């Protein structure tokens, strides 16, 4: 059977001030294939997608849909040609409800002008149930979790009945079950001859779901391969232009048994209404403690409660003193910092510069002490921007102009600049490329070696077992088990984390 080309780019090129984001890219998408696109943070993946969607215009080059040259200047024009997209930076409107978001700008109308809410509700309901989610239709999107929002965005994209569906990191916040469901949808779309363009940093996922994979590096297309012809190592090599030494740096010596290992943080009977039940644990000086559990197990809530971002009951003792943490300001005062999971919503100041985003806490502290060592802060910021390899033409660049992964890295850098005694990291490497992940692990080890106590919450088992000293397994708001990494197998940990 002869396959047909549905979408093609010719010498597609796009620059931003100081950045050649895409250089003469020739991409070919076949009808009914799952075509994955991979590359390091800042390689140009999202830029390519925005050009295909008419959200950006190319400097030069051409886009062809079924052989016909197209010039989209708005996403509506791309949608009219059958292309729909779930963006990496979800474009939902927080104040609108689920139905309004799904049908935003393509509302169903009666007699040409009356909104047909009922029809839209029914359509939304059937879209959501087709992807296996049940969320109230009238709830404002701001009240949804990151994963629910991701699924609403997917329902919105599907509502266009596209011939080409583009997904920019769709699974980054999904649970295993939700991811499996998404894969089933992708397979169904493929059966229906719909092409899927799929961007992800999880290379295992790509080998699982993809038919072909295209690698971008520094804005250039390095190659397109059949997934059956490549391994994860191949792909990484194409992405980096070299081999990755070791994805997980050597685990540091566990030093918990030495005299330094006094308890820094004690949590007793922490409960959060309906979500978290009677959590008690200790965190030691210089320890890396892991919270492992599936998406939705309650890890994020526990961390948020520890910094006073959500209300909780129970007792928190820091360095032997009972403390009240009612707000993030209290937490800062007691030396606790959180890198939140929803970094876009809670972390990024998109209209400020990289310098301000990374240095903001340090500035704040310096000002309180009546001394602003701008140069000192700037040097620190530069140091972490370099060691995390944050791709930006300068520290003055606005945060919104950074690629998604580089924004994430900047937020991580903020808390590295500001050395709190206790650092809480919620999914610290989500959306971050393999190479930068390694940089982050190295920095975590370094901080712990310097005596900072760290909690890492993650739903990625390998990450947790490779970097943590001790693991608490969280299931359904409870600590179901504590394990020593050297003693428990992956299978045992997964077994406990999925309810035993
Ligand atoms: N609006 C913009 N203004 C200036 N530079 C931009 C803009 N959008 C993207 N860039 C730059 O273009 C390059 C490619 O960014 P892009 O978002 O396409 O990367 P990406 O491959 O999607 O990365 P990630 O994996 O981090 O999402 C980056 O260096 C980024 O900083
Ligand atoms: Mg991107």
What CA–CA distance (Å, rounded) separates 204 from 490?
Answer: 17
Is the pLDDT score of 190 beyond 80? yes
Final residue of a structural domain among 174, 206, 240: 240
Chain segment 163-180, per-residue pLDDT in tens: 999 999 887 777 777 788
Residues in the 5 Å CB sphere of ion ligand 2: 45-46, 88, 403-404
Chain segment 378-429, per-residue pLDDT in tens: 888 999 899 888 999 999 999 999 988 898 888 888 888 877 889 999 988 8
The answer to whether 69 and 62 have CB atoms below 8 angstroms apart is yes
Enumerate residues 6+ apart whose C-beta is below 8 A from 448. Answer: 252, 286, 287, 288, 454
In this structure, the answer to whether residues 162 and 217 fall within a common structural domain is yes
Query: Cα separations (Å) of 6 from 24, 27, 161, 226, 461?
Result: 19, 11, 16, 17, 38
**What is the DSSP code (8-state) at residue 440?**
H
Average of per-residue pLDDT across 8-15: 97
Closest ligand relative to 168 C-alpha: 2
- Note whether residue 416 is domain-resident: yes
CATH of the domain at 419: 3.40.50.300
Ligand 1 centroid, distance to 462 Cα (angstroms): 28
Is the pLDDT score of 318 beyond 90? yes
Chain segment 426-482, per-residue pLDDT in tens: 988 888 888 888 888 888 888 888 889 999 999 888 889 888 989 999 999 999 999
In this structure, the answer to whether residues 109 and 11 fall within a common structural domain is yes
Final residue of a structural domain among 190, 207, 240: 240
pLDDT band, very low/low/confident/very high, at 213 (cuts 50, 70, 90):
very high
The pick from 16, 27, 395 for probing ligand 1's pocket by mutation, whose C-beta has the most ligand atoms within 8 angstroms, reads 16
Which residue has its alpha carbon closest to ligand 1 atom 7?
A: 401
- Note whether residue 418 is domain-resident: yes
In this structure, the answer to whether residues 127 and 165 fall within a common structural domain is yes
Ligand 1 centroid, distance to 393 Cα (angstroms): 11
Question: CA gyration radius for the chain?
Answer: 23
Q: Which atom of ligand 1 is nearest to the CA of 40?
A: 25
CA 400-403-405 angle, to 5 degrees, is 115
What CA–CA distance (Å, rounded) separates 437 from 428?
Answer: 9
Which residue has its alpha carbon closest to ligand 1 atom 18?
A: 44
> In a 3-state reduction of DSSP, which class is residue 360?
helix
Pocket of ligand 1 (CB under 6 A): 16, 19, 21, 39, 41-47, 88, 391, 401-406
In this structure, the answer to whether residues 198 and 338 fall within a common structural domain is no
> pLDDT at position 47, please?
96
Residue with tokens 């900047």: 410
- Note whether residue 258 is domain-resident: no
218-227, 291-300, 320-329, 331-340: which has the highest mean pLDDT? 218-227
In this structure, the answer to whether residues 45 and 149 fall within a common structural domain is yes
Q: Long-range contacts of range 144-152, CB-CB < 8 Å, 24 or more positions apart? A: 144/98, 145/173, 145/296, 146/173, 146/341, 146/342, 146/345, 147/173, 147/174, 147/175, 147/178, 147/295, 147/296, 149/90, 149/92, 150/86, 150/90, 150/174, 151/178, 152/92, 152/98, 152/101, 152/102, 152/128
- Note whether residue 227 is domain-resident: yes
Q: How many domains does the chain have?
A: 2
> pLDDT at position 367, please?
66
Closest ligand relative to 403 C-alpha: 1
Is the pLDDT score of 183 beyond 80? yes
pLDDT band, very low/low/confident/very high, at 259 (cuts 50, 70, 90):
very low
**What is the DSSP code (8-state) at residue 347?**
T
Of 134-143, 201-210, 254-263, least confident by mean pLDDT is 254-263
> pLDDT at position 136, please?
92
In this structure, the answer to whether residues 215 and 305 fall within a common structural domain is no
In this structure, the answer to whether residues 24 and 119 fall within a common structural domain is yes
Residue with tokens 């492992």: 292
In this structure, the answer to whether residues 180 and 305 fall within a common structural domain is no
In this structure, the answer to whether residues 138 and 225 fall within a common structural domain is yes
Cβ neighbourhood burial of 370 (10 Å; 0-12, 13-18, 19+): exposed
Of 118-122, 168-172, 204-208, 458-462, least confident by mean pLDDT is 168-172
pLDDT band, very low/low/confident/very high, at 2 (cuts 50, 70, 90):
low
What CA–CA distance (Å, rounded) separates 298 from 277?
Answer: 9
> pLDDT at position 30, please?
97
> pLDDT at position 50, please?
95
The pick from 171, 402, 412 for probing ligand 1's pocket by mutation, whose C-beta has the most ligand atoms within 8 angstroms, reads 402
What stretch of H or E contains 367? Answer: helix 354-368
- Note whether residue 255 is domain-resident: no
- Note whether residue 253 is domain-resident: no
Instruction: Determine the structural domain holding residue 80 and report its residue range.
Output: 5-240
- Note whether residue 433 is domain-resident: yes
Chain segment 90-108, per-residue pLDDT in tens: 778 999 999 999 998 888 8
Ligand 2 centroid, distance to 387 Cα (angstroms): 20
Ligand 1 centroid, distance to 41 Cα (angstroms): 8
In this structure, the answer to whether residues 406 and 477 fall within a common structural domain is yes
Of the chain, the end-to-end C-alpha distance in Å amounts to 47
Which residue has its alpha carbon closest to ligand 1 atom 12?
A: 21
Chain segment 342-383, per-residue pLDDT in tens: 766 677 888 899 998 998 877 776 666 656 667 778 888 999
Is the pLDDT score of 1 beyond 60? no
Final residue of a structural domain among 205, 240, 275: 240
The answer to whether 417 and 358 have CB atoms below 8 angstroms apart is yes
Which residue has its alpha carbon closest to ligand 1 atom 19?
A: 42
In this structure, the answer to whether residues 395 and 433 fall within a common structural domain is yes
> pLDDT at position 123, please?
93
Q: Which atom of ligand 1 is nearest to the CA of 88?
A: 27
- Note whether residue 247 is domain-resident: no
In this structure, the answer to whether residues 86 and 228 fall within a common structural domain is yes
> pLDDT at position 498, please?
83
């Amino acid at each position: 059977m002869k396959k047909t080309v549905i979408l093609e780019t010719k010498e597609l090129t796009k620059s931003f001030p100081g950045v050649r984001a895409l250089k003469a890219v020739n991409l070919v998408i076949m009808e009914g294939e799952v075509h994955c696109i991979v590359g390091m943070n800042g390689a140009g993946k999202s830029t390519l997608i925005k050009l295909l969607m008419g959200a950006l215009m190319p400097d030069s080059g051409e886009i062809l849909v079924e052989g016909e040259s197209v010039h989209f200047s708005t996403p509506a024009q791309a949608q009219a040609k059958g292309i729909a997209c779930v963006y990496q930076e979800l474009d939902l409107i927080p104040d609108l409800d689920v139905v309004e978001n799904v049908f935003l700008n393509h509302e169903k109308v009666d007699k040409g002008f009356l909104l047909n809410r009922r029809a839209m509700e029914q359509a939304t309901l059937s879209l959501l149930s087709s992807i296996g989610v049940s969320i109230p239709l009238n709830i404002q999107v701001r009240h949804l979790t990151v994963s629910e929002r991701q699924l609403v965005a997917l329902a919105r994209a599907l509502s266009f009945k596209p011939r080409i569906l583009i997904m920019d990191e769709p699974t980054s916040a999904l649970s295993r079950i939700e991811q499996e469901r998404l894969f089933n949808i992708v397979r169904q779309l493929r059966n229906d001859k719909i092409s899927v363009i799929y961007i992800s940093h999880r290379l295992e996922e790509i080998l699982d779901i993809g038919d072909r994979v295209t690698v971008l590096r520094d804005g250039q297309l390095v190659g397109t391969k059949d997934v059956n012809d490549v391994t994860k190592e191949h792909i990484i090599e194409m992405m980096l232009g070299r081999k990755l030494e070791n994805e997980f740096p050597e685990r540091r010596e566990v030093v918990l048994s030495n005299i330094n290992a006094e308890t820094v943080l004690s949590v007793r009977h922490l409960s959060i209404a309906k979500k978290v039940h009677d959590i008690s644990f200790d965190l030691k000086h210089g320890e890396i403690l892991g919270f492992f559990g599936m998406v939705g197990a309650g890890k994020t809530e526990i961390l948020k409660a520890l910094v006073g971002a959500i209300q909780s009951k129970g007792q928190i003792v820091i360095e032997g003193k009972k403390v009240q943490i009612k707000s993030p300001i209290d937490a800062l005062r007691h030396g606790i910092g959180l890198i939140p999971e929803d970094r876009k919503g809670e972390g990024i100041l998109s209209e400020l510069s990289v310098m301000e985003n990374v240095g903001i806490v340090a500035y704040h502290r310096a000002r309180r002490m009546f001394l602003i060592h701008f140069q000192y802060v700037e040097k620190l910021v530069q140091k972490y921007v370099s060691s995390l390899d944050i791709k930006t033409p300068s520290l003055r660049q606005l945060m919104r102009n950074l690629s998604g992964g580089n924004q994430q890295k900047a937020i991580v850098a903020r808390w590295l600049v500001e050395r709190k005694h206790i650092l809480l990291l919620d999914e610290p490497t989500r959306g971050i490329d393999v190479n930068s992940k390694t940089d982050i692990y190295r920095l975590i080890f370094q901080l712990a070696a310097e005596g900072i106590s760290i909690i890492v919450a993650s739903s990625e088992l390998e990450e947790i077992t490779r970097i943590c000293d001790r693991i608490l397994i969280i299931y359904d708001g409870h600590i179901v088990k504590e394990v020593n990494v050297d003693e428990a197998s992956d299978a045992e940990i997964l077994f406990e984390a999925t309810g035993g």
